[in-house]
Amino acid sequence: MGLEFCCEVRCEMRIWIDADACPKAVREIVLRASERLRIPVTFVANQPVRTPKLAWVDAVQVAKGLDAADTYIVQHLAKEDLVITQDVPLAAEVVEAGAQAIGHRGVQWTAQNVREKLSVRDFLTEARESGLITGGPKPFDNRAKQSFANALDRWLTAAMKRN
């Protein structure tokens, strides 16, 4: 069974995108892969998200509020799914639920690295609040874009073998 036939007939996996802060380049990479392989994609955000007119791509607008998109994704997630997020607490919930998550910069979230990243995140939050650290993350550049594309490709290859 070819990759395209598999997903045209029945595709049990879905890609969820935590869309509120997702870089445009990441969205475009996911949509190209989705169109090529007919993998369902759902964008979840607390504001309207424009999506292409493809039967297998949709968007869900959740209520405004802290973690509303995260809660929606976790409640609707299946173990075969992938979540695209830079939100470490959401990635931790996804991994705990048995699904997989990839960060915008290509990090494949695992039980080990998500716990470590949560600790670092908490430390950096305290440092920022006390004024010890100023500034934010590095810009999303071509290297980050390529790392994300490679991580998505690895996940897709493994997922297609499972199906």
pLDDT per position as a tens digit, 7-24:
443 368 999 999 988 999
CA–CA dist 162, 151 (Å, integer): 17
Higher pLDDT, 120 or 66: 66
Q: What is the CATH number of the domain that holds 77?
A: 3.40.50
- What b/e sequence results for 82-103 when a residue is b if at least 16 CB atoms lie within 10 Å of its CB, and e otherwise? bbbbbbbebbbbbbebebbbbb
| pLDDT (average), residues 89-108 | 95
Higher pLDDT, 115 or 28: 28
Which of the two residues, 160 and 43, has the higher pLDDT score?
43
Query: Per-residue pLDDT tens for 100-129?
Result: 999 999 999 998 888 777 666 665 566 666
Q: Quick check: is 65 in a domain?
A: yes
**Domain boundaries, position 145:** 10-162
Q: Is residue 3 in a domain?
A: no
Angle between helices 88-96 and 68-76 (to 10 degrees): 20
In a domain, 2, yes or no: no
Number of folded domains in the chain? 1
Q: How confident is the model at residue 29 (pLDDT cuts 50, 70, 90)?
A: very high
Q: Which residues contact 145 (CB under 8 A, 6 or more apart)?
A: 23, 25, 26, 29
For residue 74, pLDDT beyond 50: yes
* pLDDT confidence of residue 6: 41
Give domain status of residue 1, yes or no: no
Does 4 fall in a domain? no
Specify which residues 57 forms β-bridges with: 41
| Residue 132 covered by a domain | yes
Q: Decide: 13 and 159 in contact? Cβ < 8 Å.
A: yes
Q: Is residue 118 part of a domain?
A: yes
